[in-house]
Structure 1
Amino acid sequence: MSPRKGSAKVDNTGKGEELKNNNSTENGKQNGTKAHLDDIDPNYVQSNVSLADHFKGEDLNAPIKTIEDKWKLLPAYLQVKANNLIMSDVDRSFYLRYTSVTVGTPERMDQNAYDRVITPQECRLRDLTYSANILVDVEYTKGDQVCFMKGISIGRLPVMLRSNICVLKGKTDDQMAQARECPLDPGGYFIIRGTEKVILVQEQLSKNRIIVEKDSKGMMLASVTSSNMELKTKTYVVTKKECYYLKHNSFTEEIPVVIAMKAMGMESDREISHLVGGTDHHFTSKFSPSIEEAAKLGVFTRQQALEYIGSKVRPVKSFSADKQKLTPSEQALNTLFETILTHVPVINMNFLEDDRDYVGNKRLELAGQLLSLLFEDLFKTFNSLVKSTIDKNLKKNNSASRFDAAQSLKFHGEVITGGFSRAISSGNWNIKRFRMDRAGITHVLSRLSYISALGMMTRISSQFEKTRKVSGPRSLQMSQWGMLCPSDTPEGEACGLVKNLALMTHITTDDEEEPMKRLIFMLGVEDIHLFSGSELYQPDTYVVVLNGTLIGLTNQKQRIVDQFRKLRRKGLFSAFVSIYVNLSQSTINISSDAGRICRPLIIVENGKPKVEQRHIDKLKAGEYVFDDFLKLGLVEYLDVNEESDCLIAVYEREIKPNTTHLEIEPFTVLGAVAGLIPYPHHNQSPRNTYQCAMGKQAIGAIAYNQLDRIDTLLYLMVYPQQPMVKTKTIELIGYDKLPAGQNACVAVMSYSGYDIEDALVLNKASVDRGFGRCQVMKKYATLVRKYPNGTKDVIDGVQMHGAPAHALEKYSELDPDGFAFVGSKLESGKVIVNKRSPTNITGEVPAGGQDLKPTPITYKSPEPGYVDKILVTSSDSEQNLIKVLVRQTRRPELGDKFSSRHGQKGVCGIIVGQEDMPFSDIGMYPDIIMNPHGFPSRMTVGKMIELLAGKAGVLNGELQYGTAFGGSKVEDMSRILVENGFSYSGKDFVTSGITGEPLNAYIFFGPIYYQKLKHMVMDKMHARSTGPVQSLTRQPTEGRAKDGGLRLGEMERDCLIGYGASRLILERLMISSDSFEVSVCEECGLIAYKGWCQHCKTPKKVMQVKIPYAAKLLFQELLSMNIAPRLILENC
């Protein structure tokens, strides 16, 4: 995320002094968080959007840097000489050079468009791709003259919403409304053919960093993934029989490390020993077997080492015919310097084993980096196609002088356009030149609720195999504190592998290395090349490492670190460059690479935080934004590695003389989704995890433009309410503006047997008044196609005359144009769009006109629906596109799923009339009755406190706060209840609605925020008798959509066996499933055919037997494998 005005997710609070009242402290802190988060646009995807901006040509003249920077900027990419020039093999004087590249603005591609500017909402409705042209300026030869051409489109780049070139960038709320967009929409996603796609943040191990660990046999192993301009390779140093070997996939077998070092020019054993560890006995004893092994192999000189390695190099397939053949030693030299890391990792047995799951050893890849890699691959493919076209035309002597090479660029634009669209649509990043083959990079943006879309933006996906039962990568690491949300992770096999960012995290982009190197040397660090290996291990000597590369040595560790941090706090270089000391390895590590997670903290000096009340007052007044706090050196960003070098206080009262930093707000250790939970610190931790999953499934308001959208499936709450007990996170992310739930009055008591196992009793009067009511919008779409032979689809009204009434019944809701009337009621089987298609779409059209067959769009739901709106437009292929939105309004019914914000889910057990519900002494009836057995084992104390706080808020006329590690206190809430004439405990005197008598106990009674989840009985209810079967096994099909059967599984079968109901097993598993009569030979037991035994060559002893068809199929498949199952027949 590039630093810009107010671009960090942080809560800047006045930490000058701690206020006595916890609630007022939160309110003071909140002002800072709110003021700063208001500057963010969009809220949670700034890192993604910003990196995409870099990619889209923000800085055309930025020089190419190291490691991964090469593919950060699209224009800088063209500055690599291999990419900006195309030469011809036919005419040596011909060249085509790219001189400039820019990305345009998103435009309409329609031929007759009155206005070129296109909005994202139009792309959603018309199933278009929201993209912009990639424009290049070229210089090329045409015959004897040099030509220049500007603004040639070489393809289209999908545009991320709210990025620099998006039409929504910098728009006010009013302008967003005019563009039919929601101001709260986070952006950070793409629209491909009308579908919203998000590129998930990808978790990878650090590049160019040495990881020391144990292999499967318990031997020490050092590995490094090297990334340079052209290649990504992985190098290992492994231990075998006390010797060290270099392992790389360029070699057919492992190479002794000493031979590799000799090949690099270090011929003498003394030089190698000095480089590895000097004269220290510990190092010489460990390394001497490796030196002896090289001597045994007869390798003493550099030439011998190169010849040895050359014999082990794996042959590489070459596609160039005139490529010069290399000698083994030249091949070895090329391999060493082009693909193997040129510094060999030192195995030091004193070092602690590295933890590859430590967050500091991870890097996150964002959309910009992934698209850059993809563009590099597509652009090289594009250039090779352009080159082949140029060569083909230059071979033609008669037209070579007239050939305009710039025109050939336009012909191959689909390579880049189609490549981007395919990758983002499928989520498959298959880039052979980087050996990258990843699936599931992109997902369809979930629009189930506002919070589900927001949660997807902060999701981190790991490439770790989900089916492997390994606990390490799934565990909650201590290094994740403040960086990754501890609660928001899925259940099941993805648990701990799919993570989410915490509220204030920021993902770094690349900073240049050269200025950092100059700064390091100016601070007094001496260049590494001036020293020998033995000097690396002097007691007070520290090695300075920049992004994994050894730079120099210093014996003034603390002075270097202090001065570096002082300069960073003054804003003299990027705020995201980190420095930390590794005492066990005697290194000072400086990192400026991309993909590190960092977060802001208040600086503490001499036991006092630098942020004071006057700073907060200026923030409230709008005089300061968050960037000013960075420039003034009051707040700084720390990554995970630097955090471990600091002493951070959570609260001011914990500050000690050696404290270096202070947390801005403790609740920001949670993510956006977990931040919705009130009092999460009072719940058992799995409950918060369950709520993170269920909060994304809650039906509510999804966006301000939700009624303009025509999505495949849309769930909308009719009367959404903001919660009575909110959290600071709810305000920061805008959940109170787009909520997904309702405040229900809950009585915690057992009332009839319909509330066992978490079932809820609902009040019928509340349901009648709109509690839990939702609308389900479903899209029906069709294209009116034009075919190659000139025929086309037709939509028209129904010809009424001559047809029987029952045949016309399904067309009863159509208007004269062939569409259902808007507002008309649709039953199952009714036609929505009366479309007819030609029977012949390839051959010649008969003279009498095209023959048409009916291909209508029909309504398929068992429940009636209403036509909400119809859209008639055109797609990008200039064909008419019809979209019909059908609406169903649903009341809560038995079996619908509800959940509070504490992972307490339950289905509706019964809906009771209000006259039968219990009521309190002030005449209040509960909306929901919940069984008290839901509390003891779940330990969701947060839910109890929410009820108290909600009740106090209602009586006091104000919203209460349940923010993590703070919020409204129970004592204050109890005091408000007592002041208003209620029990301090939240319990009320309740009378039975059935008998009219007072209940024998006081009932815990008050408002709790309940969410209606998308799981509804109407979508799941299914039954069948006979029906469709699978063609292979002849068993009933599977699933509600295919009218499938209900499966009797292994456990149900075991249950029937336990009861001894063998006839029932026979009926379920054979007679009602796939009973089949088969001929079986009584003599040999094999299956016969039409009364004839092929094995015995006789029909005499062939009997008819009923077995399951799947069993018959199994026997035949076993016979094909030379296994003969024989049936032993008995009379019965």
Structure 2
Amino acid sequence: MTVLIKHNLHKVFVNGDWLGCVQDFGSFLDRYRHKRRVGEINMYTTVSHNIIANEIHMWVDSGRLIRPLLVVSNNMKDKDYTHEKFRQWINFKNDHVKQLRDGTIDIDDLAHEGIVEYISPEEHENTYIAFEHDRFKQHLKDPLHRYTHVDIPQGNMGLVALTSVFANHNQAARLVFQTNQVKQTNSWALKNWAFTAHKDLYHQVYNEDPLVSTFAYRHIPPMCTNAIVAISIYGGFNQEDSLIVNRSSVDRGLFDAAHLTYDKCDIEQNEIVCRPDPSNTSDIKSYSNYEKLVNGIIPEGAYVQEGDCLVGKVAKMQKGDMKDPNIVYTDRSMVYRHKEPAYIWKVIHTQNHDDREMVKIVFQTFRSVKLGCKFSNRSGQKGATGFLYDDTDMPTTATGIKPDLIFNPLSLITRMTTGVIFEGMLAKIAAHTGTCPEATMFKKLDTDNIASTLKACGFNHNGTERLYNGMTGQYMDAEIFIAPIAYQRLQKDTCDTVYANSISPTDALTKQPLHGKRILGALKAGSMETACLSVASINFLQEKTHEHSDGINAYVCEKCNSRAVIANEEKNLWKCNNCGDLASITKFSTSHSSQLFLNEMAGMSVGSKIHMKKATFEVPE
């Protein structure tokens, strides 16, 4: 180490392996960073300098966090340079913006031209970054602020995170929630969804582009609905994250969705596809309905319920297995076992991995909004349906507009999703002016301009309106915020989660209950459920064995621990035969049988004393 310091040498590491040393570390760093910008080495290469340890680290492995930054150039290498002539600039021009919008170039093309550079966290300590372009423009001629890069705020986020509107105005955790919830949204996941078979494919019928869009929404299909949302308590069925939903809007198709799934049936070589004949077939499923089969297979468009046969097939029995000479086949049909009725969307004839015939039957179930269905806005605020009001019971504005959803204003306090308010105000303006406001995070928001535009459209500056109570017809003495807000229906339907069962099948080996809704399996009892059941059991035992049995209240003197006391609560008389008026009488709960036992002992000249102690809870170590 002393030799390295003496000769001013710097170690060079590549992916953590020491390759050698360099003396002129400055020119070495400049050379390889220039190679990265002109494309001679990979643009994702990290070139970092540890000044304290005199080490240069270069990383080219995968799995590193990187983000794009705009490269800053200056004139410090000019021959006639002075501090008074200092200038710095970025090479990202308006022409590049137009080409990016047209799709003729992408950000990787800018990286090959040296306009954009990918930087990892290891290299941050060697950079001086302007956090926004406006700050950079303030120091274009300031030699004390020699920036190396200009930050691209949206470049720190992924495409999923950029679907959140005004995320910089919301709590940070809401952005994390939105990135998870947007993946669970009902949408058009595939363009060929009608011709393929997928497990648990959720498809929303009526999708809309949001009135207030973001950068990411230009590159993904519509996945939300512009619902009229009011922020009010209105009866209290929207406590916390619950939502009051307009039943009439649901009847008109609001958030209607379809669920697609499939079952497959392999056709073995010794099996025949047909409708089983009870006269020559054994093991006929008595609970199944074979009447809907056409040539042994359920046709497309058929309505099926639990127990309906989907694929009828029989296998010829071996001679040794025949107990009746007339019974020559055994039934191996596939039956629809789902609780929810469905329509046969598609029947696909294909082959499995063994090149044997296989039939895939795709089911479609219609999913309208019910109690418990979950929704989310693009600010990460999730809510479940708490109640469905008829259209006549919903509040209405002076112009006759009724909200589709009502959520509680108290939920804004803890969630801190002010982006919802901004989205609603801009959506009102967009609906009246025909514009498409931009709501990508870190975009500047002029609240004064929004307020003045709302006034010009005939609304209050804050987006609130006076409503009439739909139940009483009276004027509601409050200004209620109402606006169109884009909501996403999540893949969390009540019919998928509601399930109850008393007795379940058991495993043949372990004899333990099986799990699964489809096979009528058992429900898991977790630690919280076990604790709740134990508390309820203790209270039940106390009630049945004490209160509803021989439970009584007895009295004892705490000074002499004797039961020889006189106690009359009605007349407020308390006396101990041993201590007299100085006694300290205490009432306690016990059983009559225990007192009878002590009395019988006293009749045999065996005394007893009862020591009282206050009940305390001890925390185990």
Q: TM-score range by the shorter chain?
A: 0.7 to 0.9
Letter in 2 for 1:1014: Q
Distance (whole Å) between structure 2 residues aligned to residue 883 and residue 647 of structure 1: 59
Over 3 Å counting, the alpha-carbon distance change for 1:1064 and 1:937 in structure 2 is farther
1:912 aligns with 2:393: no
Distance (whole Å) between structure 2 residues aligned to residue 912 and residue 613 of structure 1: 52
Distance (whole Å) between structure 1 residues aligned to residue 545 and residue 229 of structure 2: 45
Match of 1:860 among 326, 332, 337: 337
Over 3 Å counting, the alpha-carbon distance change for 1:571 and 1:686 in structure 2 is closer
CA contact (8 A) 2:288 2:335 kept: no
The structure with the largest strand share of the pair is 2
Over 3 Å counting, the alpha-carbon distance change for 1:621 and 1:1014 in structure 2 is closer
Over 3 Å counting, the alpha-carbon distance change for 1:920 and 1:662 in structure 2 is same
1:669 aligns with 2:148: no
Distance (whole Å) between structure 2 residues aligned to residue 800 and residue 676 of structure 1: 58
CA contact (8 A) 2:352 2:358 kept: yes
The structure with the larger Rg is 2
What is the TM-score when the length of structure 2 is the normalising length?
Answer: 0.76
Q: Report 1:360-371 matches (<5 A).
A: none
Aligned partner of 2:148 in structure 1 is 660
Aligned partner of 2:230 in structure 1 is 747
Aligned partner of 1:823 in structure 2 is 301
Q: Percent identity?
A: 27
- SS of the residue 2:415 aligns to: coil
CA contact (8 A) 2:171 2:417 kept: yes
Distance (whole Å) between structure 1 residues aligned to residue 502 and residue 321 of structure 2: 47
CA contact (8 A) 1:960 1:968 kept: no
1:202-229 CA deviation, whole Å, 9 max, x = no partner?
A: xxxxxxxxxxxxxxxxxxxxxxxxxxxx
Over 3 Å counting, the alpha-carbon distance change for 1:654 and 1:1058 in structure 2 is farther
Distance (whole Å) between structure 2 residues aligned to residue 968 and residue 925 of structure 1: 29
- SS of the residue 2:119 aligns to: strand
Letter in 2 for 1:696: K
Aligned partner of 2:261 in structure 1 is 778
The offset of 1:661, in angstroms, is: 0.9
Letter in 1 for 2:148: T
Distance (whole Å) between structure 2 residues aligned to residue 906 and residue 625 of structure 1: 38
- SS of the residue 1:989 aligns to: strand
The offset of 1:1045, in angstroms, is: 5.5
The offset of 1:640, in angstroms, is: 3.0
Q: Report 1:1041-1120 matches (<5 A).
A: 1041-1044=518-521, 1047=525, 1049-1056=529-536, 1059=539, 1061-1062=541-542
Q: Report 1:864-903 matches (<5 A).
A: 864-903=341-380
Letter in 2 for 1:921: A
Distance (whole Å) between structure 2 residues aligned to residue 994 and residue 844 of structure 1: 71
- SS of the residue 2:265 aligns to: strand
- SS of the residue 1:699 aligns to: coil
CA contact (8 A) 1:894 1:907 kept: yes
1:570-615 CA deviation, whole Å, 9 max, x = no partner?
A: 4444434432221111123334445544333221122211223344
The offset of 1:937, in angstroms, is: 1.4
Letter in 1 for 2:223: A
The offset of 1:690, in angstroms, is: 2.0
Distance (whole Å) between structure 1 residues aligned to residue 61 and residue 288 of structure 2: 68
Over 3 Å counting, the alpha-carbon distance change for 1:1012 and 1:667 in structure 2 is same
Distance (whole Å) between structure 2 residues aligned to residue 643 and residue 851 of structure 1: 78
CA contact (8 A) 1:956 1:976 kept: no
What is the TM-score when the length of structure 1 is the normalising length?
Answer: 0.43
Over 3 Å counting, the alpha-carbon distance change for 1:1028 and 1:543 in structure 2 is closer
1:386-421 CA deviation, whole Å, 9 max, x = no partner?
A: xxxxxxxxxxxxxxxxxxxxxxxxxxxxxxxxxxxx
The offset of 1:915, in angstroms, is: 0.8
The count of corresponding residues between Structure 1 and Structure 2 is 520
Match of 1:634 among 112, 115, 138: 115
Letter in 1 for 2:146: N
CA contact (8 A) 2:288 2:309 kept: no
Letter in 1 for 2:412: F
- SS of the residue 1:755 aligns to: coil
Distance (whole Å) between structure 2 residues aligned to residue 629 and residue 826 of structure 1: 56
CA contact (8 A) 1:961 1:968 kept: no
1:688 aligns with 2:167: no
Q: Report 1:520-535 matches (<5 A).
A: 534-535=2-3
The offset of 1:628, in angstroms, is: 4.9
Letter in 1 for 2:73: E
Distance (whole Å) between structure 1 residues aligned to residue 203 and residue 341 of structure 2: 18
CA contact (8 A) 1:746 1:1005 kept: yes
Q: Report 1:654-803 matches (<5 A).
A: 654-655=135-136, 656=139, 657-663=145-151, 665-731=152-218, 734-735=219-220, 737=221, 739-786=222-269, 792-799=270-277
Distance (whole Å) between structure 2 residues aligned to residue 610 and residue 687 of structure 1: 35
Distance (whole Å) between structure 2 residues aligned to residue 975 and residue 794 of structure 1: 75
The offset of 1:702, in angstroms, is: 0.4
Unaligned runs of 5+ residues in structure 1 are 1-276, 278-533, 787-791, 1067-1132
1:814 aligns with 2:302: no
The offset of 1:798, in angstroms, is: 4.5
The offset of 1:1054, in angstroms, is: 4.5
Q: Report 1:288-327 matches (<5 A).
A: none
- SS of the residue 2:126 aligns to: coil
Match of 2:70 among 602, 607, 617: 602
- SS of the residue 2:178 aligns to: helix
The offset of 1:552, in angstroms, is: 4.0
1:464-509 CA deviation, whole Å, 9 max, x = no partner?
A: xxxxxxxxxxxxxxxxxxxxxxxxxxxxxxxxxxxxxxxxxxxxxx
CA contact (8 A) 1:875 1:881 kept: yes
Aligned partner of 1:544 in structure 2 is 12
Letter in 2 for 1:582: N
The offset of 1:535, in angstroms, is: 2.3
The structure with the largest helix share of the pair is 1
Distance (whole Å) between structure 1 residues aligned to residue 96 and residue 236 of structure 2: 59
Distance (whole Å) between structure 1 residues aligned to residue 521 and residue 439 of structure 2: 47
**RMSD over aligned Cα atoms:** 3.3
- SS of the residue 1:726 aligns to: coil
Q: Report 1:221-620 matches (<5 A).
A: 277=1, 534-538=2-6, 540-606=8-74, 607-617=88-98
CA contact (8 A) 1:741 1:1010 kept: yes
Over 3 Å counting, the alpha-carbon distance change for 1:620 and 1:982 in structure 2 is closer
- SS of the residue 1:935 aligns to: helix
Distance (whole Å) between structure 2 residues aligned to residue 640 and residue 753 of structure 1: 49
CA contact (8 A) 2:245 2:385 kept: yes
The offset of 1:566, in angstroms, is: 3.3
CA contact (8 A) 1:948 1:970 kept: no
The offset of 1:669, in angstroms, is: 1.1
Unaligned runs of 5+ residues in structure 2 are 75-87, 140-144, 547-621
1:352-382 CA deviation, whole Å, 9 max, x = no partner?
A: xxxxxxxxxxxxxxxxxxxxxxxxxxxxxxx
Letter in 1 for 2:292: E
Higher RCO by CA contacts (8 Å cutoff, separation 6 or greater): 2
Letter in 1 for 2:293: L
CA contact (8 A) 1:865 1:887 kept: yes
Distance (whole Å) between structure 2 residues aligned to residue 745 and residue 793 of structure 1: 57
The offset of 1:917, in angstroms, is: 0.7
Distance (whole Å) between structure 2 residues aligned to residue 572 and residue 727 of structure 1: 35
Over 3 Å counting, the alpha-carbon distance change for 1:794 and 1:614 in structure 2 is closer
The offset of 1:705, in angstroms, is: 1.1
Distance (whole Å) between structure 2 residues aligned to residue 629 and residue 706 of structure 1: 36
Match of 1:1021 among 498, 502, 505: 498
CA contact (8 A) 1:949 1:970 kept: no
CA contact (8 A) 2:68 2:155 kept: no
- SS of the residue 1:1001 aligns to: strand
The offset of 1:718, in angstroms, is: 1.0
